[in-house]
Amino acid sequence: MDFTMSEAATALRGELRDLVRMHVPEDFRGAFTDDPSDLDVAQRFCRLLAEQGKLCMAWPEEFGGRSASVWEQTVVREEMWARHEPRGAQYMGVNWVGPTIMRHGTDEQKRRHLPPIANGEVIWCQGFSEPDAGSDLASLRTAARRDGDGWRITGQKIWTSYATMAQWCFLLARTSTGTAKQQGLTVFLVRMDDPAIEVRPIRAMLGPHHLNEVFFDGLRVGQEDVLGTVDEGWAVVQEVLAFERVGIARYARCERLLRAAPDALGDRWDEVPAELRGRWTRMLAHCRRARLLAYQVVSMQSEGRVRPGDTAAYRIAVTTLDQASAEVLSELAAHVPDRPGTDGDAARRFRLDVDEHWRYSQAATVASGSIEMQRILLARHLLAAK
């Protein structure tokens, strides 16, 4: 495998880092904190990226992109995740909602939805998991029933990130019952401001806006809101999950924090126990492994041949890296001295960065499909290959 970045991709990485330094405060740790100004920072930064053609670089020009290589888009993904994702929730629209609409949407759906995503003007949420259908997504019960020339949707979703602020929801519902539970599912694109939708936030240590319950009480949608073919939504969802899982480049954040540790500790780095420094070194190697697995999937996606086993292998590697690196970083942060002046500010930021990373890592092996389900997918892939 030769995944050496081109000169254009390397130059883009430098440009993105300059933009972050100029437009994102040093104490920014994500768009969804208790401080409303953090979301404002992310929204402004998204629009700035869009104006410079850096938000949806790999999209075709006709849909607001630059027809850049998938590797340039990968650079954007890595630099954003390394710096607490200053695009906010836009990664969802950029990484998989938009590409899925390009592949399965009508001309009208493309005209309606793609420009706002490319301009950084809209936030999407994902209506997948339910109280009794989390990792086993195909067991969902939210139902869409025919109502004249449209549909009525009733049911409940849970763990829905960004639902309190999203304008649109990428919703999966059951439209018929078949011999297999994966049959009879359909994707709907629905507005979140409909009075038939109720959002209830779920308090969690991840902070506000992340986790929510969403209730649909006879939501009326039209045929124009159906994405793809009725009853064949499961095939669409499989594509979505492949794009989503590789699009979350948490390895880039892990590597940045690990490499920042020696500077944060300063003279105390030499006092760190050899066993802990050895684990720190192994974590850097694990970052490299997760990065290469991500690059393998990106390369396959660019050729139109994504396999669930490959995305599962990457997801297992990056989520376990998330949690293992968080433990190492937390132990290293305990050695960071309190220092006055600029050095003290850098040390304080490192400790806060590590704390934020640890909190998010706790949900890593559950979000976007539990690690148990990823192992099942990988095992099926390996057995089928024999």
Q: At CB < 8 A and 24+ separation, what contacts does 238-243 make?
A: 238/308, 239/100, 239/103, 239/306, 240/96, 240/100, 240/170, 241/311, 241/368, 241/369, 242/297, 242/301, 242/306, 242/308, 242/311, 243/95, 243/96, 243/99, 243/100, 243/301
Residue 218: both structure tokens together: 């006879």
Q: Tokens 């539970």 label which residue?
A: 181
DSSP class of residue 63? G
Active-site positions? 244
Q: Give the β-pairing of 150-157 and 143-147.
A: antiparallel
Beta bridge partners of 214: 157, 199
Beta bridge partners of 188: 171, 226
Q: Where are the beta strands (DSSP E) in 34-184?
A: 124-127, 143-147, 150-157, 168-174
Residue 190: both structure tokens together: 């629905």
DSSP class of residue 171? E
